[in-house]
């Protein structure tokens, strides 16, 4: 018999995590019910995300909009979308931290309304011990990657004690 990988099995416990923007004015909570997984968790290399984040890549987790709640500072959340088909990018108007992307035109067959949040905004303890459900399983727009991933891996390995 083949071993059953834990990551392939439906999660038996609900998952609740919190996060915030850089200045702390906008806070949020993600509540993922037992049996549910994100639509995807990955590294995005697209030019659009790189410019929006001023970073070489972003780490995103896609959940249904009903799973994420802004718990404080909703009045500071500003949304921007670049026509003709850009996602709605939400950020804290006080410090500029990107909070989430919404995709109003994306209507999956399962009736959900997908959005992505950025794991770099999770609370520090959660980021350091990222739940298995939120760990990236791949790369999006890898053809647009500007990082030398092999060199990055070398440097990471060399910096380990």
pTM above 0.95, yes or no: no
The tally of CA atoms less than 13 A away on the side-chain side of residue 4 is: 4
CA distance 143 to 115: 23
Q: Is-contact 124 16, C-beta < 8 A?
A: no
**What are the pLDDT digits (tens) for 89-110?**
999 999 999 999 998 888 888 8
Cis geometry, peptide bond prior to residue 39 (ω within 30 degrees of 0): no
CA distance 90 to 28: 13
Question: 86 is written with which tokens?
Answer: 């850009």
As a whole number of Å, the CA-based R_g of the chain is 17
Q: What is the pLDDT of residue 25?
A: 98
Q: What percent of the chain has pLDDT over 70?
A: 87
> What is the mean predicted confidence (pLDDT) over 69-98?
92
Q: What is the pLDDT of residue 4?
A: 43
Whether 3 has a pLDDT exceeding 60, the answer reads no
Residue 110 backbone phi and psi in degrees, to 5: -85, 5
Mapped onto helix, strand or coil, the DSSP state of residue 66 is: helix
Whether 143 has a pLDDT exceeding 90, the answer reads no
**What are the pLDDT digits (tens) for 30-46?**
999 988 889 889 887 77
């Amino acid at each position: 018999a083949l071993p059953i990988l834990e990551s392939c099995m439906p999660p038996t416990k609900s998952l609740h995590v919190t996060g915030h923007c850089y200045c702390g004015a906008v806070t949020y909570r993600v509540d993922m019910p037992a049996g549910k997984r994100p639509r995807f968790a990955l590294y995005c290399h697209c030019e659009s995300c790189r410019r929006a984040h001023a970073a070489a890549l972003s780490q995103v987790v896609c959940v249904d909009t009903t799973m994420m709640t802004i718990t404080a500072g909703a009045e500071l959340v500003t949304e921007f979308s670049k026509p003709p088909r850009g996602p709605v990018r939400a950020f804290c108007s006080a410090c500029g931290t990107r909070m989430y992307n919404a995709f109003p035109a994306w209507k999956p067959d399962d009736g959900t309304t997908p959005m992505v949040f950025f794991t770099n905004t999770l609370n520090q303890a959660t980021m350091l011990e990222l739940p298995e459900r939120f760990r990236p399983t791949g790369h999006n727009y890898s053809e647009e990657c500007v990082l030398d991933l092999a060199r990055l891996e070398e440097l990471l390995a060399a910096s380990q004690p």
